[in-house]
Amino acid sequence: MNCTTNRYAENPTVTINGDILMIRHFSILLLTILSISVSPLNAAEPLLTIGKPYLDDIAYTPDGRFLATLSISYWVELLDAETFAPVHRIDTVEGEHLRFSPDSSQLAIFGDRANIQLWDVAPPRLRATIPVKTVHATFSSDGTHLAYAVGDTVYLWHLREKRVVMELTNGVPITAIEFHPNLPILISGHQEGPVTFWDVDTGQIQRRFPTVLRHPKKLRFSPNGAFLGVLLEHTNVYLFETATGALRGSSHSALDFGFSPDSTYFLVGTEEARLQRLHIPTGWWDSRSVVDRHGPTGMGRVKRLTFHPDGDRFASQIDAYRISIWDVKMLSRLKTLSGWMQTSTRAAYLPKINRLVTGFGTNILHFWDTRTGDLLKTVEFHWRVYQVVPSPDGRSVALDVEATNQIWDAALMEPRHVFQIRGYLGTQAVNFSPSGKYLASNTYRGTFIWEVETGRQVNLIDTGWSDFSLLLFTPDERQIVLIPPNDEDIQPAGDFIGFWDIRTGEMIRTVDSIGPLLLRQNNSLQMRDTQDALEIFDMVSDKRISQIPKPIPFQLIRHFSDIRFHPTGRVVAVRWPLQTTPDKQRFYDTQTGQLLAVIPGADLRFAGKGEFLLLHNENSGQLEIYRTRDIVNVPESVAVEPQARQLTQWGGVKRNALLQNFPNPFNPETWIPFRLSTESYVTIHIHNSAGQLVRRLSPGTMPAGDYSSQAQAIYWDGRNQIGEPVSSGVYLYTIHAGDFSATRKMLIRK
């Protein structure tokens, strides 16, 4: 009998031959599955949900009152066509497409995943449900019927009688349908053969289009009925004369098309971020980009076009997250509506100033008010935003965009510094030093070190372009830490973590293992990936603290972003590479390896000092902000983490204290310093001289330490709870931290 002992298990097990080893692996998997099944999915509600769900369809009402937007599985919003303010909303919508009746009184919502719903428009009221799933539906020009196609048959549904009154079929599967705007004619496109013209009075085929078009996915008549537009499955689009079938124009890479209300212009939206326009009377084509600047490859797809009935403007849906309003004749942009599909947690949440900055992976930067969820400002760039990193003082963000690193004031929503990078090929990682004094940027030329206050380049260190998104400063801010590229032509090569002096540029030391790091003043942690488990090591002693068994042995964590340490070091979130829908985040105690909580989510990031977390809702494409304590119980810290310059004072605080705000008097902003002897949940209440509550500041749970410098003190912008500037005078500020409370005076002088 061949026996071995697993020395890493908490309770060593004897393994007999390979069969028992397989049983042990299966047991680990079974126990993990059972632990997941008994761990309740936390029912916590998000503090705030940012953005709107994925945008699937848009349409103006024929009377021009509303612009409708459809977010699949969530809602249809009716926006005022002039102000774009939401007026009505239809919730719990499963359809993918919108069509309005000619008189704008009814709305059909339909798709291949839900039954057809017929709604009264204003106010919204469900009128009827047709138990049919289809992507082909359209109203007759007189508003009496709804036609829909299933298989090889078109059904005419009488809207008043609420029943099918006619069926049209020629035995060939149907791919598109449309009513003529002026005649009792319906046309159908098919997988094979020509477009068929049906007489809806008799139910007979009137004629077939002379040109054979295989698999058209959209058919539309011009408003005067003289022209027919056909979009094929392979994105070619054609314009024909309805009567003769003569070809008047064509284009490629099309996703949608439409006619101006006067039938003068034929517009095409492409997958190449362009609008193409044909002036039908002259046959003259022109075009323009749908982004003001040259957008990134694969972005700017024009998925939907819809015209306002006044003929002066139209709207385009661009990708799944914005709408642009255009002047028809000038082909110039009038307005852009943004805010749909905020999917990445690589965002900067700045609770001190009530800001969230998003835009990673897109070419649009969004500034949000986290008190209301309102979108305050958007900024459009030439290229994708590759990094969005919050500053330690909670007031700025660092970006990597357009061959530069930029630092923006998040409150003013304006750039402070722009650092040019010559020979730019992109930045792998950007990060602030703990105090915010420096900004590091890892590029293919090496790692730049910038001084934030002056914008001065401190050094360019020859580290190579890291293969991993790991870039950290040591707590004393003297070294940067990253993994060199794993390239035999570049020395030093990867497979270890290097520490470089930011002044001399020399490598000081290495750690012969790679994995996510958490660098703290008193103890630093590293996650290491082994055959059967993730192991957490103390970086100083190089001793294993705990291990987390893998659900499936040998499966590697492929991305550092799948592992997130809580800033206290007591909890780590892991997204295992399992084929589950939706993805799940699992929270573990770093000291014991115990599973603490399981929640749905593919992307997660801790924010602030760890009191908040950002979670990507996979279903809606929205970004959610939670209090960490509502999701997982973070065990008390065993050590104090320094956050800024006053490193020697952390952990040495003997008693709680509320200090005088600075500056004082002030206008319009000030900082409130304090000290904590133990980790506490902190709130600051600000009252006016009449004793009325003006503002409540809640930084959340904070570790013991000295918060007397500007980088750590609580910031107040001189505004009340609803964002209005407060008047001059004396104010009282009170701290509540556990059992401790204290009050001081401050003066606003304007």
Q: What is the rounded radius of gyration, in angstroms, for the C-alpha atoms of the chain?
A: 31
Using a pLDDT cut of 90, give the percent of the chain over it.
51
Predicted pLDDT of residue 19: 42
| Average pLDDT of the segment spanning 266-281 | 96
The more confidently predicted of residues 364 and 220 is: 220
Question: In this structure, what DSSP letter does residue 636 have?
Answer: P
The answer to whether 129 and 169 have CB atoms below 8 angstroms apart is no
When pLDDT is averaged across residues 225-229 and rounded to a whole number, the result is: 97
> Phi first, then psi: what are they for 352, rounded to 5°?
-60, -35
- Per-residue pLDDT tens for 506-560? 998 888 777 788 888 767 898 888 888 899 999 888 899 999 998 877 566 656 6
Local confidence band at 425 (pLDDT 50, 70, 90 cut-offs): low
What is the mean predicted confidence (pLDDT) over 301-328? Answer: 95
CA atoms of 278 and 285, how far apart (whole Å): 4
Distances (CA, A) of 584 to 154, 264, 617, 629: 43, 53, 11, 18
193-202, 248-257, 574-583, 612-621: range with lowest mean pLDDT:
574-583
pLDDT of the residue at 712: 79
Domain annotation for the chain: domains and CATH numbers: 49-338 (2.130.10.10), 647-748 (2.60.40.4070)
Q: How far apart are CA 449 and CA 457, in angstroms?
A: 6
Q: What is the pLDDT of residue 271?
A: 92
DSSP string, 223-248: TTSSEEEEEETTS-EEEEETTT--EE
Among 574, 566, 527, 568, which Cα is nearest to 547's?
527
pLDDT of residue 719: 87
In tens, the pLDDT along 633-668 reads 887 544 333 333 333 333 456 788 899 999 989 888
The pLDDT tens digits for 600-618 are 877 889 998 899 999 988 7
In tens, the pLDDT along 95-105 reads 899 999 999 99
The Cα 91–Cα 381 span in angstroms is: 34
> Can you give the pLDDT at residue 292?
60
Lowest mean pLDDT of 17-26, 207-216, 437-446, name the range.
17-26
Buried b (16+ CB within 10 A) or exposed e, 631-657: bbebbebeebbbbbbbbebbbebeebb
Average pLDDT rounded to a whole number, residues 561-579: 85
166-210 residue pLDDT tens:
999 999 999 999 999 999 999 999 998 899 999 999 999 999 988
Taking 80 as the threshold, does the pLDDT of residue 629 lie above it? yes
Tell me the pLDDT tens digit for each residue of 46-95. 888 888 888 999 999 999 999 999 997 789 999 999 999 999 999 878 88
Q: CA distances (Å), 340 to each of 291, 295, 371, 551, in order?
A: 17, 18, 18, 35
Band (pLDDT 50/70/90 cuts) for residue 739 is: confident
How far apart are alpha carbons 744 and 348 in whole angstroms? 32
* Cα-Cα-Cα-Cα dihedral sign, residues 199, 205, 207, 211: positive
CB-based contacts of 262, cutoff 8 Å, min separation 6 = 223, 311
Helix or strand or coil: residue 21? Answer: helix
Query: Can the peptide bond before residue 485 be classed as cis, meaning omega within 30 degrees of 0?
Result: no
Q: What is the pLDDT of residue 243?
A: 94
Residue 647: strand, helix, or coil: helix
Q: Nearest to residue 618, comparing CAs of 345, 319, 339, 302?
A: 345
Q: In what order do the strands lie in the sheet with 604-607?
A: 48-50, 622-627, 612-617, 604-607
Fill in the amino acid letter for 242. Answer: T
Average pLDDT over all residues of the chain: 84
| Per-residue CA distances from 580 to 382, 408, 534, 575, 650 (Å) | 36, 38, 20, 11, 43
- pLDDT per position as a tens digit, 442-490: 887 889 999 998 888 999 998 876 666 678 999 989 999 988 765 554 4
